[in-house]
Each structure stands twice: as C-alpha cells, then as structure tokens.
Chain A
Amino acid sequence: MSAVYRAAIKVADRFVPAKLQPLWNHEAGPKTIFFWAPTFKWALVIAGIADLRRPAERLSLTQSTALAATGLIWSRYSMVIVPKNWNLFSVNIFVAATGLYQLARIVNYRRELEARN
C-alpha cells in the first residue's frame, strides 16, 4: 500500500508549481498528518450542521456538551501555542458554535417538557 502511495506522491510532486513547492513540502504541509488531522476536524462541524435537522428529543446532551467544551478550550489553546494555528482555531470555533447551538436546543426542549408536565 505504501509503495502505491509513494509512487502517487512522486507523480504529484512533478505537477506542483514552483511557487507552491515550499507549502507542499512544509513539515506541517499536506503530506503530513499535522495538516490532515486538523483539516479532518471539519467533518465534525459538517456532521453537526447536518444534525441541526434532528428533532431535539433525539439529541445527546452529553455529546453536545463535550463538543462545545472541547471546541471552546481548543479555540483558546490554538492561540496560545507557538506558532498560532489559525486552521485549528477556526475549526474549533465552529465545533464550539454547533455544539452550543445543539445544547441550547436540548435545554429548551427539556424546559418545555417540564413546563408541560
């Protein structure tokens, strides 16, 4: 498998324009996990936005709280680490935002239930 990957990268290397070479070969660039792991965190945001359509009674309170908390804390940390990581910052802002919004929906729904009872 890795032989296939290395061959594909060798081919791709030829197509990268000269101006983008430093970015392409960067130690935190698209050939490394340091690029793809934070990029993949956007999948949590997309899943969160897709979940906005779920009815409030089907949402998990613990998961939304955990996502909101981790998003908020990591947003702060990505500005504290050296060097500042704007990619990590932006994705965690969105994770926190979707988490908090879902949390608000769950809390409102449960309050309404209690009021009705």
Chain B
Amino acid sequence: SSSSGHSRMSAGGNLFTRGLRYLASKEFRSYLCSTHFWGPVANWGLPLAALADVKKNPEMISGKMTTALFFYSMAFMRFAWRVQPRNMLLFACHFTNDTAQLVQLCRFTDYWYVKDEAQRQQLRRQYEDAAGEAAAEVAVAEPKK
C-alpha cells in the first residue's frame, strides 16, 4: 500500500511511536537494570559537581584534583569507546567532565597565575559579601527561637 507525506500508517509507525515502543521493550528495560547503565549514571556526579562549582569561588578549586580528573576522563573516553559493547553514556559523561574540568583549570590558572594579588583580594571580598548576604537571608527566613 502506498503512503504519502507523513501518514501515520507508514511502516512501523512514525518516529515518536517507534521511540515509545522501544522505551517499553524488554531490551530497553533490561538495559536500565544493567551495570552498563547504572555505572555511568554513578559517574555523572563528577561532571555535575564540576559544573555546579563553576559559579563558585575559584579558591575552592584543587589544581591537583582537577588535573587528575582531566586526564582520568580522557582515558575513560577511550575506554568507553573501545569497551564491548561500546558505552556512549559513559563516553558522554567523561566528555562532559573533561570540558567542565578544563573550564575549572582555566579559572584556577587565571586566578592564581594571571590575576594579581589586588584583583584576588577584590574577588575574595566579593564572594565573602555574597556569602554574608545569603546567610543574612537565611537568618531572616528562619528566625532562631
């Protein structure tokens, strides 16, 4: 039978229904229960933590840990690519982590090696003021008995 344009009767259904059917399939459900899924999920904490830290005071960045994480994620990007079966979720996790750690490394280098002490003092005061304001807001919202 011939179908024209975006007929809902096209082979297997349209992309959306095919997608939903895949999500409901046994294959996908067993993947969700496997270590191939939950292992990488556990690792996503690292890039998410780094992305959250990008807004914070650069003095919180550990140069050693950030460098170690950068090389570690590079190694695991290749690991995720070469492992059988190929694990794209793990690859995406470590790719994101490398980007985030690189951003933190640049912030760290800029803060300690490009800026001068006066600029650092100014930034320190800015972060302290911001922290003071946040604490004051909390104190107003939850009055102590």
A-to-B contact residues, CB < 8 Å: 32-34, 36-37, 40-41, 43-44, 46-48, 50-51, 54, 58-60, 62-63, 65-67, 69-70, 73-74, 77, 80-81, 117
Task: Count how many pairs of residues, one from A and one from B, have CB atoms less than 8 Å apart in the complex.
Answer: 85
B68 and A46: CB pair below 8 A?
Answer: yes
Question: A37-B75, A40-B71, A58-B59 in contact; A47/B45 too (CB < 8 A)?
Answer: no
The B contact surface, by secondary structure, is: helix
A60 and B56: CB pair below 8 A?
Answer: yes
Chain B residues within an 8 Å CB radius of A63:
46, 49-50, 53, 62, 65
Q: How far is the CB of A110 from chain B (nearest CB, A)?
A: 12
The A contact surface, by secondary structure, is: helix
B-to-A contact residues, CB < 8 Å: 35, 38-39, 42-43, 45-46, 48-50, 52-53, 56, 59-62, 64-65, 67-69, 71-72, 75-76, 78-79, 82-83, 135
Chain A residues within an 8 Å CB radius of B67:
47
Nearest-CB residue, chain A, relative to B51: A62
Can you list 15 contacts pairing A with B, beta carbon distance less than 8 Å? A33-B75, A34-B79, A36-B75, A40-B71, A43-B71, A51-B62, A62-B48, A62-B49, A63-B53, A63-B62, A66-B46, A67-B46, A77-B35, A77-B38, A117-B135
A73, B35: Cα distance in complex, Å: 10
Chain A residues within an 8 Å CB radius of B82:
32-34
Nearest-CB residue, chain B, relative to A71: B42
A48, B78: Cα distance in complex, Å: 24
Question: A47-B65, A48-B65 in contact; A70/B53 too (CB < 8 A)?
Answer: no
A51, B69: Cα distance in complex, Å: 13
